[in-house]
Amino acid sequence: MALPQDVHPGFFGILATPRAYSTAFYLLVSLATGIFAFTFVLVGLSLSLGLAILILGIPVALAFLVGARALALGELWLLRELVMDPPLDKPQWLPAGQGWVARLKALCTDRHTWTSLVYLLLKLPTGILGFTMMLLGLTLGLSLLAVPIAHLLHLGGALSLDECELALFTSRPALGLALCALAGATILPLTLHLALGLGRLQSWLARHLLLRA
């Protein structure tokens, strides 16, 4: 499901690991997918329960459960393409049965259906966590690495840094630039390692709620 532990890249080796970048991208888009999944489940449950006293509630509830299974399959596809190296054995869109009526009945009793709803609800908090950590780490790391370049442009008159200059840069500019570059070169690999860790957490949730329900 996740990257094998024995091939986990070294601290700086992760910079040459494509899976780390694809996992970071997955985490960055996980906020949008998490909001969509959470909203879909809340609206679907509200409509299904609200229309339960009417005959219209049955097709609405079935359509909601079918849609939830489709979202779960889409999430597994994203995880397989962006986070997990080994292929995933995904569950069927609808449970097996003799005819559509039997399959729709089995849909309501299949544990994958209900654990998929739990997973989709958890997508929002995990999406917020992943998006926030990646945005902060990548922004801070790249910004610190860009300081020496910005300083060079400033010396050439192409960029003014008057508003963000610190005493360290005015008194010992070489030391300040070196510290910024060192900090940025440390934060970026740390962020990618964190991405792999959060990706494994998401893989663990998918394995237990979408595949082993």
| Better-predicted residue by pLDDT, 122 or 9 | 122
What is the DSSP track for the chain?
A: ----GGG---TTGGGG-HHHHHHHHHHHHHHHHHHHHHHHHHHHHHHHHHTTTSTTHHHHHHHHHHHHHHHHHHHHHHHHHHT-SSPP-PPPSS---SHHHHHHHHHHH-HHHHHHHHHHHHHHHHHHHHHHHHHHHHHHHHHHHHHHHHHHHHHTTS---TTT--HHHHH-HHHHHHHHHHHHHHHHHHHHHHHHHHHHHHHHHHIIIII--
Q: Where are the domains of the chain?
A: 5-211
Cα 64 from Cα 61, distance rounded (Å): 5
Task: Express as a percent the part of the chain with pLDDT over 70.
Answer: 72
* Res 173 pLDDT > 90: no
| pLDDT score, position 142 | 86
* Res 213 pLDDT > 70: no
Average pLDDT of the residues of the chain: 79
Average pLDDT over residues 135-140: 92
Q: What is the pLDDT of residues 47-74, one digit of tens each?
A: 888 877 777 778 888 888 888 988 988 8
Cα 12 from Cα 188, distance rounded (Å): 9
**Closest C-alpha among 137, 112, 121, 123 to residue 78:** 123
| pLDDT score, position 158 | 44
The vertex-34 CA angle with 32 and 36, nearest 5°, equals: 70
* Res 160 pLDDT > 80: no
The model's pTM is 0.78
Task: Express as a percent the part of the chain with pLDDT over 90.
Answer: 29
Q: What is the pLDDT of residues 11-43, one digit of tens each?
A: 878 888 888 999 999 999 999 999 999 999 999
Average pLDDT over residues 164-180: 61
Cα 175 from Cα 166, distance rounded (Å): 12
Average pLDDT over residues 100-127: 83
Q: Report the range of poorest mean pLDDT among 82-91, 142-151, 175-184.
A: 82-91
